[in-house]
């Protein structure tokens, strides 16, 4: 019986590690989509309810950012991903946004908290942008 309990704990932690890895990859894809100013790739990372919320202008706001700058470079660091349950997770991270306009680079460094929800078997950003 003790071996079954240990096996269950190991299997549970490996699922959590897989989920954290998937969220980590999602956040890397977000950095890439912003750096490439690709609104379609960016939008694909958001869950359906977040995109469809009539009061949420996250996609519109991001497109305005893309249009406002000649170049954008986004990276992140210090990620802490917490799996809440099978369908919910939170990540706190620091992001670095370098933007180029009017012949000069500007840099912004901020801490953020993003929430995630599983949708059709994949993690998607559900709030925090």
What does the pLDDT look like over 4-19, one tens digit per residue?
554 444 444 455 889 9
- Residue 55: pLDDT over 90: no
pTM recorded for the entire structure? 0.85
Report residue 56's pLDDT band, with 50, 70 and 90 as the boundaries.
low
Report residue 57's pLDDT band, with 50, 70 and 90 as the boundaries.
confident
Tokens of 17: 């590690």
The CATH number that applies at residue 12 is: 3.10.450.50
The residue range of the domain holding 87 is 2-127
Percent of the chain exceeding pLDDT 70 equals 86
Check: CB of residue 117 under 8 Å from CB of residue 101.
Answer: no
Look at the chain and report how many structural domains it folds into. Answer: 1
Angle at 84 between CA 109 and CA 121, to 5 degrees: 95
3-state secondary structure of 128: coil
């Amino acid at each position: 019986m003790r071996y079954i309990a240990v096996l269950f704990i190991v299997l549970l932690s490996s699922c959590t590690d897989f989920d954290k890895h998937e969220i980590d990859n999602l956040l890397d894809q977000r950095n890439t989509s912003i750096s490439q100013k690709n609104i379609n790739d960016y939008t694909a990372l958001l869950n359906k309810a977040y995109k469809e919320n009539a009061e949420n202008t996250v996609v519109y706001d991001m497109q305005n950012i893309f249009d406002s700058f000649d170049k954008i470079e986004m990276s992140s660091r210090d990620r802490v991903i917490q799996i809440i349950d099978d369908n919910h997770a939170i990540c706190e991270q620091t992001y670095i946004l370098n933007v180029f306009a009017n012949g000069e680079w500007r840099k912004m460094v901020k801490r953020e908290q993003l929430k995630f929800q599983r949708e059709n078997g994949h993690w998607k950003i559900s709030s925090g942008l």
